[in-house]
């Protein structure tokens, strides 16, 4: 069970950044499933931000990390044929 995050939007954005950093770490280790989990956590926290607290840089990073995971998965699956 995870602890509830404080409502402070800046703290939540910081947590999103940490989860997105974790995606890179997991992909370096070849642990795609764990990278997927980290991305889902980051995305979930970002989506829970209060209205008006969005951050275009974080949105871009979320998208970039999603593409990395997808590319890594596609490349890995392509090599299995």
**DSSP secondary structure letter of residue 55:** -
Q: What was the pLDDT predicted at 11?
A: 93
| Per-residue pLDDT tens digits of the chain, which is 81 residues long | 356 778 889 999 999 999 999 999 999 999 999 999 999 999 999 999 999 999 999 999 999 999 999 998 776 555 555
Q: What was the pLDDT predicted at 1?
A: 37
Query: 58: closest CA among 3, 1, 17, 2?
Result: 17
Give the domain ranges of the chain.
30-75
Q: What was the pLDDT predicted at 72?
A: 85
Provide the CA 2 distance to its chain's centre, in angstroms.
17
Q: What was the pLDDT predicted at 29?
A: 94
């Amino acid at each position: 069970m995870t602890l509830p995050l404080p409502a402070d939007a800046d703290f939540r954005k910081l947590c999103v950044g940490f989860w997105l950093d974790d995606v890179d770490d997991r992909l370096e280790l070849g642990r795609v499933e764990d990278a997927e989990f980290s991305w889902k956590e980051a995305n979930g926290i970002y989506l829970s931000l209060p209205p008006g607290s969005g951050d275009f840089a974080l949105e871009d990073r979320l998208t970039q990390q999603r593409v990395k995971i997808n590319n890594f998965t596609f490349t890995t699956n392509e090599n299995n044929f």
